[in-house]
Every structure is written in structure tokens, then in C-alpha cells.
Amino acid sequence: MLGVEGLALTDCDRARLADPRVGGVILFARNFESSAQLRALTSEIRALRPVLLVAVDHEGGRVQRFRTGEFSAIPPMRSLGERFELEPPAASDAAFAHGATIARELRAHGVDFSFTPVLDLDYAASAVIGDRAFHADPIVVADLASALVRGLASAGCAAVGKHFPGHGFVAADSHVDTPVDARTLDDILRADVVPFAALIQEGLPAIMPAHVVYPAVDARPAGFSRIWIGDILRGRLGFDGLIFSDDLEMAGAHSAGDVVARADAAIDAGCDVVLLCNDFAAMDDLLARFAPPPQPHLARRMERMKGR
């Protein structure tokens, strides 16, 4: 899944997206000027290859790529957690409503889904997560995230839970560093993994692992770890949905080597789709040299992400 350069497809964008190894496009604020322009862009992508998924990070609060035109302002998810403290049913209803709004507005502009919800716990440690997290209590996070996912589904969007198994405990930002979370596996399973496990039981269609190292479990970041993805996420938790890597351009991914080595490491660990978001030279390098292995379940898992 690749980013595209601007408000309309360039010839270079078209060449990249025509490659059969490319399964989708992730959009950013640079790709949005107006509702009419966004519809034209997504129509252009569909006309080029109708099978491509079109996605965006559109969580609310700080992470909302489209903010004008026909798009509503979505509050940060922490506001729902704060409301839950006073009136839990009303907070859950609001989470459903926010999910439905996100989905309705994205689908009206030709976008299939958002990379949401954030399932990380709010330990008041991670600035990059911060108010993107619903709450510190994993049961509250599971409740509110479940409601948001149901709201998304009600208006035709799938959901992506992130950042497995949890990014909230560490202060370092994986965009610019390699965070290390020294807790034991039992500690992480008892807390951070609880919302993921709950939503998997409810049929969550996709998950994104964190570029965080948990050395008590594996020396590799979770997104490159067969233990986290194969043994724990697929095995212990029984997840059979789509797994997206986080952006391979982030500093937390660089330990695996160059861009092709990072993609190989993610696929080898069990990711289905790798993301490159902003570095167009790296995208060209990846497409020149990357040879992914056969992935027999990929088409079925990706089909669940198409907008309805």
C-alpha cells in the first residue's frame, strides 16, 4: 500500500499503482483540497485499477487528514474515555456515532476505510499516542472501540486495530526512534492485549502491529516478529484478518535494513500488506527489487476491507 504525491495522480503514481504487487493507496492531508477534488482523485484511482483499496488515517483529534468541505470535526478519542467516567452508555453511543460519521463521510468520497481505532492504552507516557487513546483501562478501551467499530460497519467501513500489542507504555515515538518496552509478556497480555483480544472475538477485520521492541518476547519490533504475529496474534489470539505493517519509512522499522529488507522482514513475520507512505524514491526501489512470496489468504482478507 503506497502513498500518492498530490491532489491528482501523476504519471509516476500511475506507474506505481499499475504494478500488480500494489494493493492499495493511503491518502494524507497533501492529497486533500476539497470534497470535489478528493472524489475526483479516488475516482481516478478506481478507474486505473478498481481492485485497489483506498485508505486514510482518519481517527479524529490530531489525526484527521480531511478537515474541511463535507467533513465533520471528530474529537480525540480520549474525550470519549473522559465521558465514560461519568456516563458509560452515553460514551458508548457517542463512539458508535463517531464511527458512523467517519465511515459515512469517507465512503461518500470514495475512501474504503480508516486506520482506526487506536487500541493502545493511555499510560500518560507516550506523546505520540496521547489523546488518541480512549482510556487507561483496557476494559473501557475495548467497550468504546467496539462501539466505534460497530459504527464504522453500520456505514460501510471496516476497521483496523492498532498498534499491536500496544504502544502506549513507552515514551519514544516510533516515527523517529525505536521504542523499547521492557515489560514481561504476562504484563502485556494482562493489560495492553485485552482490547485486541476482545475485538478479535467480535470479528475485527484488520490489525496493525507496532514498531516497538519488547525484548522479553523478541529482539525484533513486533511488526517484524514471528513470535508476536505468528505465535501470539495468529496462534494464541486466533486472528485471521488482514495484517498491515506500520509505515516502513518510520525509524522504528530501520533496524531491519533497507526498504526491501524491511518489507521482507514484515512479510516473513506474517504481515499481509506493507505500507510506504511518503518516500517515493523508496517506493520505486521497493517495486524494482521486492519479490513477495505467495499469500494464499490475501485476497479473502483484503476483500473484507472494501467499502460497502
58 is catalytic: no
Task: Round to whole Å and give the CA distance between 252 and 246.
Answer: 10
- Cβ-in-10-Å burial (0-12, 13-18, 19+) of 37 comes to middle
If one counts every other C-beta atom within 10 angstroms of the C-beta of residue 260, the result is 18
Q: Identify the DSSP state of 268.
A: H
Choosing from 192, 218, 246, 264, the catalytic residue is 246
246 is catalytic: yes
Q: Cα 111–168–102 angle (5° rounding)?
A: 20
Query: Do residues 41 and 71 lie in contact, with contact meaning Cβ atoms separated by under 8 Å?
Result: no
Produce one character per residue of 60-88: b if its CB has 16 or more CB atoms within 10 Å, e if not.
bbebbbbeeeebeebebbbbbbebbeeee
Q: Which residues are catalytic, by number?
A: 175, 246
